[in-house]
Amino acid sequence: MSDLRSINPSNGDIVGVYPQLSEQELNQLIAEVNSEFDLWRRIPIKDRCKYFKYLAEAIQIRKDEFARLMALEMGKPLFQGIGELDKCAWVCDYYADNGEKFLADQTIKTDASDSYVSFQPLGVILAVMPWNFPFWQVFRFAAPSMIAGNVAVLKHASNVQGCADAIEGLFIEVGIPNNTFRNLTIDSSKVDYVIENPFVKAVSLTGSTSAGKSVAQKAGSVLKKTVLELGGSDPYVVLKDADLDIAVDSCVSGRLLNSGQSCIAAKRFIVDINIQSEFEKKIINKMNKQKVGDPFLDKSTVGPMVNKAAKDELSTQVLKSIDQGAKLIYESDIPKSKTGCYHPIMVLSNVKPGMPAFDEELFGPVACIITAQDESEAISLANQTVYGLGAAVFTSDIEKGKEIANIELEAGAGFVNDFVRSDPRLPFGGVKESGYGNELSSYGILEFVNIKTVYVR
């Protein structure tokens, strides 16, 4: 059983080595978490909420340290790491402020003397989380799930075990009872084994569509609930009456966040033919102001890809698309590093269905421009994907934009004149092969509870 390793994608240096748990150790750890469940669930909700207030404070105090850890392990530019940690504190505060209200019993008038709905925790919840937002993905799961009374085990991505250990340490630091939240130092081959454990009651996964299908299949075989947030190929529809400066700013921000390595990154820009030329000029000018470089340097807005395999896969998708007729209209400089996993910012035009740049998820700093003859074709092209995570539309007609975002675009989130992002106050989830279930808001806290009818004669 090989050790887990985190490798700095900027230079190839080994950041940390983490021995994997044996099956015996894994079973013991899960049993210990399960034994803590009955204590944790009986702590009053208002007191569970207080712990997450303490977590929010602890995150803010140590965010510079944790941002550096993310930069080391997966290449996130420091200023984006700070932003991610601010958001983690926000989600802890949000559920601490609202958890008691969200979980309050709901009285229902019937012919009973008393009847109501209560929300009871399930037990041990397994979180299978990705490397691209190594703190945010965990806290947006943990805050609602644990305030609801569940306990948690985390199977984090193998390359960010330093982040995973740091998160577990935070729970201990603020005084949350031992074994309420634990990190499982295992690789993906052990996920099925954990799902089969009788103490594990449900699974939350954020990751690729293939990983989601595998976890859903295993969880279904043992009748355990899943919430899946999977891949995306988010379309941004730019209509001919759009404010192009707003559209371009949003498209670039949405495409390059986390060096383009995000499920809800802007991936396909579907532009009305009447404004395409001007859009392309503006986006090239905006991209040219970005800087690919060392994530520890303030001037870097795009860091390295997470590893060489990811960089090579993206390069292959780009080259295949160019071979099929896509045009490379912009390519940035990258650091001259023999070991760093840097990929240039690119803009492809003349992208069409059938090309990898249209049909597949491009997980990196490559923008794809698709020509639409009119509004109807633009919407059709936007929906011509197996994914349905986020989508955006840009237009000066706000009412039309709202109708397109709400009714026409097949996605879990529709944005008008802005780039897609998550917000603790709003539900987050996808349709089609982008998954199912919701995180965040009042809906997210109800995913891992027993919605229980109580009827009194």
How many whole angstroms separate alpha carbon 313 and alpha carbon 42? 48
Radius of gyration, CA atoms only, the chain: 23
Helix pair 161-173, 63-74: axis angle to 10 deg: 160
What residues pair up with 202 in beta bridges, in sequence order? 125, 225
Closest to 247 (Cα-Cα) out of 220, 215, 276? 276
Catalytic site includes residue 263: yes
Which of the residues 49, 88, 251, 263 is marked catalytic? 263
Q: Are strands 225-229 and 234-238 parallel, antiparallel or unpaired?
A: unpaired
Distances, alpha carbon 273 to alpha carbons 100, 233, 347, 402, 418, in Å = 51, 21, 17, 22, 21
| CA 299 – CA 291 distance, rounded (Å) | 7
Q: Which of 210-219's residues contact partners 24+ apart within 8 Å by CB, and which partners?
A: 211/128, 212/435, 215/128, 215/191, 218/191, 218/192, 219/195
Strands 435-436 and 225-229: antiparallel
Place of tokens 């577990």: 168
Q: 146 is written with which tokens?
A: 């644990």
Amino acid identity for residue 98 in this structure: N
Question: Which one of the listed residues 36, 73, 84, 229 is annotated catalytic?
Answer: 229
Tell me the β-bridge partners of 225: 202
| Residue 87 token pair | 């958001």
From residue 448, alpha-carbon distances to 145, 271, 353, 444 in Å are 6, 40, 38, 8
Query: Using N-to-C axis directions, what is the helix angle for 78-102 and 45-61, rounded to 10°?
Result: 170
Within 8 A by CB and 6+ apart from 389, the residues are 229, 230, 231, 232, 234, 263, 264, 411, 412, 413, 420, 430, 434, 435
* Whether 48 contacts 146, CB under 8 Å: yes
Residue 32 designated active-site: no
Catalytic residues: 229, 263
